[in-house]
Amino acid sequence: MLLTDRCPSEQIAKELEQWIKKLKCSGNTGISIDLFPEIRIGIDPSPVRKSNKSYEVYTNQEINERLIEIQESGGETAQITFNNKDTFRGEMFGGLREGFCDVTLAESRKNVIAIRGNYKNGLIEGKARVFFKDRSWLEGYFKSGIQHGFSRLFDKKGRLFFVGNFQNGVPVGVCWKIIRGGGCVVGRVDQHGELTGCRIAYIYPDFTTSLVGTFSKGTMQSAQQAQIESIIEHESGIKIPIFSRPTGHVHTRQIGNFDIICKGDGRPLASISDPLVRDPYENKFLDVKISRISGAAEGIFAKQDIEVNTVLAFYNGSRADPEDFDPSTWETNNYRIFDPADIPNGTIDIPVWAQATSGYCGTLAHKCNHSFIPNGEFVVFNHPKFGLIPCITSIADIQKGGEILVGYGYDLVDSPEWYKEAWKHSIFAEQGVSYKDWCDCNIKRPIKLKESRQDA
């Protein structure tokens, strides 16, 4: 193992961020991980034990018998089409696959639809890709036909979601799980290759702030805040962050439902209840102050200079009960927003007791005000504590002290009067830009009718 010199947190964060970005290069857009020689990848040097973790669906004998039939009929020896429409392309030597081979299945077997990689003596040897029925796929290193080395897993949209070293078909040692919206889970996997156990960490998108504690299959159960102090690089090519001792509030996994936001809610004066515990990452970036916008109350402001494409604030709340919806007034519905865990009908709400920061400040995105010239937008984030919720990410550089603003994107006809007036006097309306065109260009996830408001 190589231990890097202790360095400022900014340097550590940059190193980890760049490493993850390079790992995301699948080659599908022309940039492959092989272009980065500083990333050490390859076959694990340990011996391979007998394993049932093979992805193969055809034996060498089955391919060779079909190949002989084709040769006898004068067919092309490098390409085989089976009776079930499966195909094989590659070279056979002495009845064994040798060199690059490609098997594509008309229907999945063993959850596999294709295998493409290098073979030696009839077995996968070296780098190969395996494609699965759900359109996810892996790129990894194999030894004697078994996944045995550095590997990456991608989802059906080509997004990296797992990095680790495999032995005998199972992840071993320290592995990384890349989380939707930003952030990572990292730690030593158990005997089943799962990120389960203690001393596992969730790292926020700044690659500095972390929650270290107990996880189950990559999901946080309970953890405390820690900081990354240094990095170890394992000989397998996996970076291992070293954390400070976890301290402070014990954060536990808790998904809001129709009744609660988080543990201890409904008791706004309880000094140790979770509703009054700030998210450690959000707390680094944001503060609540009186908005400078005419007619608005509080808003959220940058505590430091913020670069574009930075995750800033989270929108946790209770899941809104449809029976509580009263379309006749904005006042009872003005904190509602889309629920990414229940698209398209679900909504998240902030109950009355939690609308003041003295009652709830666990997350602060519900304090964000509207602007037709926004510097932030709502996207989806998989939060370690609150699960899949909306978050605000910056779409422009924001100076320290600047207010974070998003475009609500209401249906203009049914929007509140203040919103109609704001549009009427906006620079876009004055220049003749249609409201629909403004929405199409500026709003990624519009807030539906009577689901939010201007001021918090």
Q: What CATH number is attached to the domain comprising 404?
A: 2.170.270.10
pTM of the model as a whole? 0.88
Local confidence band at 77 (pLDDT 50, 70, 90 cut-offs): low
| Structural domain boundaries, residue 140 | 31-148
Determine the Cα–Cα distance for residues 280 and 230; give it in Å rounded to an integer. Answer: 20
Split at pLDDT 50, 70, 90, the class of 329 is: low
- The model's pLDDT over 27-40, given as tens digits with 9 standing for 90+, comes to 877 678 877 888 88
Q: Are 317 and 256 in contact (CB under 8 A)?
A: yes
Contact between residue 211 and residue 199 where contact means Cβ atoms under 8 Å apart: no
In-domain check, residue 269: no
- What pLDDT was estimated at residue 118? 95
pLDDT band for 166, please (50, 70, 90 cuts).
Answer: very high
- Total of domains in the chain: 3
* pLDDT band at residue 79 under the 50/70/90 scheme: confident
Judge if 138 and 174 occupy the same domain: no
Residue 396 lies in a domain: yes
Per-residue pLDDT, 272:
40
Is 154 part of a structural domain of the chain?
Answer: no
> Residue 293 domain-assigned?
yes
pLDDT at 30: 67
Q: Are 236 and 303 within one domain?
A: no
The verdict on 316 and 385 lying in the same domain is yes
Residue 333 confidence class, pLDDT cut points 50, 70, 90: low
Q: Which of 108, 126, 148 is the last residue of a domain?
A: 148
In a domain, 453, yes or no: no
HSE value, Cβ hemisphere, 13 Å, CA-based, for 148: 22
pLDDT in tens, 251-303: 999 887 766 777 665 444 333 458 889 999 999 999 999 998 887 889 999 99
Contact yes or no for 237/229 (Cβ under 8 A): no
CB 60 within 8 A of CB 197: no
- In this structure, the answer to whether residues 214 and 359 fall within a common structural domain is no
Distance in angstroms (rounded) separating the CA atoms of residues 302 and 299: 10
Q: Among 142-151, 193-202, 326-335, name the one with the lowest average pLDDT.
A: 326-335
Q: Does residue 454 form part of some domain?
A: no
Residue 456 counted as domain residue: no
Does 209 share its domain with 294? Answer: no
Please indicate, yes or no, if residue 110 is contained in any of the structural domains: yes
Of 94, 120, 148, which one is at a domain's C-terminal end?
Answer: 148
Same domain, 303 and 191: no
| Residue at a domain's end among 98, 114, 148 | 148
pLDDT digits 0-9 by tens, 385-424: 999 999 999 999 999 999 999 998 888 887 888 889 999 9
413: tokens are 């006809």
- Same domain, yes or no: 171 and 208: yes
pLDDT of residue 202: 98
Q: Are residues 166 and 102 in the same domain?
A: no
3-class SS at 322?
helix
Please indicate, yes or no, whether residues 322 and 434 belong to a single structural domain of this protein: yes
Mind listing the pLDDT tens digit for each residue in 249-261? Answer: 999 998 877 667 7
Q: What is the CATH number of the domain that holds 201?
A: 2.20.110.10
Phi-psi region of 58 (alpha: psi -120 to 50; beta: other; left: phi over 0): beta
Residues 165 and 139 in one domain: no
How many CA atoms lie within 13 Å of 176's alpha carbon, on the beta-carbon side? 26
Burial 150-169 (b: 16+ CB within 10 A, else e): bbbbbeeeeebbbbbbbbbb
Beta strand 99-109 with 170-178: parallel, antiparallel or unpaired?
unpaired
pLDDT band at 68 (very low <50, low <70, confident <90, very high): confident
407 and 433 inside one domain: yes
Gap between the Cα atoms of 367 and 387, Å rounded: 20
15 and 85 housed in the same domain: no
pLDDT band at 91 (very low <50, low <70, confident <90, very high): confident
